[in-house]
Amino acid sequence: MSTSQPPLRLSSHKSLTSRLVLSTLLGRAVRIDQIRPDSPTNPGLAPHEISFLRLLEAVTNGSHIEISYTGTVLLYKPGLITGSAAGSGASSAGVLRHEVPANNTRGLSYFLIPICLLAPFSKTKFNILFTGEGVITSSTERWGDMSVDGVRTAILPIYEKFGIERDIELRILKRSNPGRGGVGGAGEVQLVFGHQVRLPKTLHSLSPGRVKRIRGVAYSTGVSGSNNARMIEAARGVLNQFVPDIYIFSDMGGASLVPDKGNPNAKRKVGLGFGLSLVAETTSRCLYSADAVCPPEGGSAAEDVGRMAAFQLLESIQRGGCVSLEAFETVVTLMAMGSEDVGRVSLGRDVLANESSIRLARDLNAFGAAGWGIREADSEKAEGQLLVSIVGRGVGNVGRKIG
């Protein structure tokens, strides 16, 4: 899908995955420079960014990637999105095995959210097994990445609003938490995304509605299962004042064992910890999510983690709008790639005014997408919120002609 246009020039490592996704969907080469040029110890691309580039190369055909000697300049020429069956490292069953490096510090949602954006526009289905010592299934305190549970319960259901709802599954085969220094803990997750469409449906989401129920998952890995009960009790102590319909599932598992570098004959436990993922659903099927996890160095009580998750969920609900901050990139990108019609969505002011949201708007404009129309919401139920109108590009899926 190479073009005669010169590469679009951007700078900074921020929103790298989002820019690569837009480049792949729109078929426009991109050159990104000034990637951590002033870092005295680790200039250029980080391990998780290089790992994402490897994954992107595996699910596309014909992509061309050039990285400068210092790693501070990246040139990416996109190819056709082919899915996992033809990717490098795919098994005979069409399962692509992606190894996340041991020095990874980002939660797996860093990989999952942008890859899910590519999956509906693929020629064939995505079936990716994320494995390796660097897989972190919990949320991360350092980066603010949401947990895999949050992606499964708060991000994937959004695709249904765009007519993408069949054969989508996210399986957590082995849980893990950030280890010492925030480095990953050898989890294992499988993503199956088998619903490809020609064009996403136009979205009209104007009223957020009222929260009717809260669901969640409390997880502990390699530590006492009593932490789950303590987190659930603390979270319910906060949330029961607002919503009576609350159910939080408890999941306990053992820690993963990896070879000890100091003693090749011995193994050590990694990925120990606990956390809580919550999602609130409204009467109009809007979703708000929150995640809290114990710090890698420990020292945080389970009750504090539970209350933190509950307060973060209340803050997400308070922002208002039909789209949470975590789901903003997914919703806006799908709206921009959809049919050439005007889609409308109600957003909270704090969601739209966020740094990452503004950066995404600027990137879409740089790639040639139409500008947004923003005005005050007219509905009394959406008072104080903004109504954003987005015109679709009609790009859709060039590899698949029928939905």
DSSP notation for 99-119: EPPTT--S-THHHHHHHHHHG
Give the DSSP H or E segment for 313: helix 302-319
Query: Which regions of the chain carry the CATH code 3.30.110?
Result: 1-81
Q: What are phi and psi of 341, to 5 degrees?
A: -140, 165
Q: What is the pLDDT of residues 216-257, one digit of tens each?
A: 999 999 999 999 999 999 999 999 999 999 999 999 999 988
Q: What's the whole-model pTM score?
A: 0.94
Q: What is the DSSP string of 314-351?
A: HHHHHH-BSS-TTTHHHHHHHHHHS-SSEEEEEE-HHH
Query: Which regions of the chain carry the CATH code 3.30.360.20?
Result: 204-319
Q: What is the pLDDT of residues 279-311, one digit of tens each?
A: 999 999 999 999 999 999 888 999 999 999 999
pLDDT at res. 1:
45
pLDDT at res. 402:
44
Q: What share of the chain in percent tops pLDDT 70? A: 94
CATH number 3.90.550.10 given to 204-319: no
Nearest to 146 by CA among 181, 174, 113: 113
Residues of the chain with pLDDT under 70: 1-4, 85-93, 379-382, 398-403
| Non-local CB neighbours of 378 within 8 Å, separated by 6+ positions | 387
Q: How far is CA 119 from CA 116, 206, 234, in A?
A: 5, 27, 38
How much helix, strand and coil, in percent to the nearest 5, is found in the chain? 30, 25, 45
Q: Which overall architecture, per CATH, does domain 1-81 show?
A: 2-Layer Sandwich (3.30)
Instruction: Indicate left, alpha or beta for 219 from its phi (over 0: left) and psi (-120 to 50: alpha).
Output: beta
Q: How far is CA 52 from CA 62, 200, 223, 298, 350, in A?
A: 16, 25, 30, 29, 29
pLDDT at res. 380:
66
Nearest to 77 by CA among 4, 17, 16: 4
